[in-house]
Amino acid sequence: MTDRTETKDPPSNIGRIALAGAVAGLGAAIAIGGMEWFSISEQFPLALIPFATSIVLVMGSPHAEPAQPRALVGGHVVSALVGLAVLKVTGPGEVAAAAGVGLAVLAMYLTGTFHPPAGINPLLVISHNLPWTFLFAPVLCGALLLTAFALVWHRWIRREPWPHRWL
């Protein structure tokens, strides 16, 4: 009779996955709290700050290409610019908003800045008839602050490399 050694299944990754999810959730909650604070202090409606889904993407899927700084910042800026240009040419309206989102997707692809959450920017710009200042605050400033937050969060809290590339 031969001696057979039992092999054990590798330990489950559920605990590690749950911890990573909890850390990502905490980071997202802190970032959203900062957005809420800004919204209240500046009396700027939170619904017009387009970063909630960006935060979820950058915290929860930091390795994804759309979660890298080029896409995060560039996607928001490009899509807001498209929305502002469409608004300038057509004025506000449902057709303009739909065209703005479609053109923003095209522009993000062409510029290598595809960031799906940024697709909301033209919709916000056109449907709320927002001014050109929206491009700088909250869009550019917010995207840069979110990038800085993600850098600190991933490198110092999670102790993981982020971003994988800047440009």
Domain contains 128: yes
Domain contains 162: no
Domain contains 55: yes
Domain contains 2: no
Structural domain span for residue 36 = 14-157
Report DSSP state, residue 154.
I
Domain count, the chain: 1
Look up the pTM and report it: 0.85
Cα–Cα nearest to 165, from 72, 70, 76: 70
Domain contains 129: yes
Cα separation, 77 vs 70, whole angstroms: 10
Phi, psi of 8 (to 5 degrees): -95, 145
Domain contains 67: yes
Phi, psi of 139 (to 5 degrees): -65, -65
Tokens 């800085």 belong to: 148
The pLDDT, as a whole number, for residue 11 is 57
Domain contains 7: no
Domain contains 25: yes
Tell me what the mean pLDDT of segment 134-157 comes to: 93
95-121: pLDDT as tens digits: 999 999 999 999 999 999 999 999 999
27-70: pLDDT as tens digits: 889 988 888 888 888 888 887 889 999 999 999 999 999 999 99
Cα separation, 121 vs 125, whole angstroms: 6
The pLDDT, as a whole number, for residue 85 is 98
